[in-house]
Chain A
């Protein structure tokens, strides 16, 4: 396998990371909703923490996108 083909394959594999991160982001919001519906009174105060969790989960997916972009364009 030549290097160019291996790079493209690697970029494709990096998409797995992006997909898994989407599960993580979904989990963050799903668990938040689950908790919020049990105790709606406490939900609004936790929105900041919701977005911190979202940002953490999303960043790891974006990192795999960066790897893919580096493999294709750099």
Chain B
């Protein structure tokens, strides 16, 4: 008989230690968690995907075409946002975009039907925050090494009236320093909210089915239809969030490369 359905939408984000519960470095546990496992799977899938397309044949097949579409897309994005100086960032932006894209899509895979619990590590701020800090660090390094202390002119736009400079400087500085947080927070919350929504809707389907045929028809079936629609929306969000992360990194790199 069906047990009392208890809704715990946050359980899916729980970290589990798969190996090395006693691996400690300087007092911190560095166990191999399910998050790390899915990062490894995403990396492996990405390597297989890219390696399969690096055939350099003159007449590309479908696979090579798919990889070249992605690299061309990133190349175009950098050319449009940074200019010709942006060419050297193609490897970084490509890795970033594809890693996030694969992570988001792997987390949405219906692997539950074969008993595998897919884990979306982009729904954790610790994962997205590190990616955001990485992007922000590259912006800082490029900006300071290329322009030196002239990089601070980023915070005073051209044509600012002199009395306004102290205020504008502070406002621009804050908006600059908030970037890594907003970058990481956006991806993490968007992924987490989507997965919680899917979990809540699926619990409606299950408890609707448990409460007799009438509830099943008036609550379970509409919830299921809505869930299928939301799944499609989540696929769109997964793509858009990866795109937005890569795009904003390009925009920030443009600030570092070209100032204003």
Interface pair B248/A62, CB less than 8 Å apart: no
Query: A58-B190, A62-B193, A73-B10 known; A51 and B185 CB under 8 Å?
Result: no
Contact B193 A51 (CB under 8 A): no
Chain B interfacial positions (CB closer than 8 Å to A): 10, 77, 80-81, 182, 185-186, 189-190, 192-193, 240, 243-244, 247-248, 251
**Per-residue contact bits, chain A 52-70, to B (CB 8 Å; 1 contact, 0 not):** 1011001100110110010
Given known A-B contacts A48-B77, A48-B80, A73-B10, A55 and B189 have beta carbons under 8 A apart? no
Chain A, 26-54, CB within 8 A of any chain B CB = 45, 48, 51-52, 54
- Looking at the assembled complex, report how far the CB atom of A36 sits from the nearest CB atom of chain B, in whole angstroms: 17
A interface, CB within 8 angstroms of B: 45, 48, 51-52, 54-55, 58-59, 62-63, 65-66, 69, 73
Main DSSP-derived SS at the B contact region: helix
Across the interface, A59 reaches (CB within 8 A) one of B81, B182, B243, B247, namely: B182
The answer on a CB contact under 8 Å between A48 and B190 is no
Is A59 in contact with B185, judged by CB distance below 8 angstroms? Answer: yes
Give the A-B contact count at a CB cut-off of 8 A.
36
Judging by beta carbons under 8 Å apart, are B81 and A48 in contact? Answer: yes
In the complex the two chains form, is A54's CB within 8 Å of B244's CB? Answer: yes
Expressed in whole angstroms, the minimum distance between the Cβ of B171 and any Cβ of chain A is 16
Given contacts A62-B193, A65-B193, A73-B10, A48 and B186 within 8 Å (CB-CB) = no
- Name the distance in Å between B188's Cβ and chain A's nearest Cβ: 9
Chain A residue nearest to B196 (CB atoms) is A69
| Contact status A62-B185, CB under 8 Å | yes
A residues in contact with B185, CB < 8 Å = 59, 62-63, 66
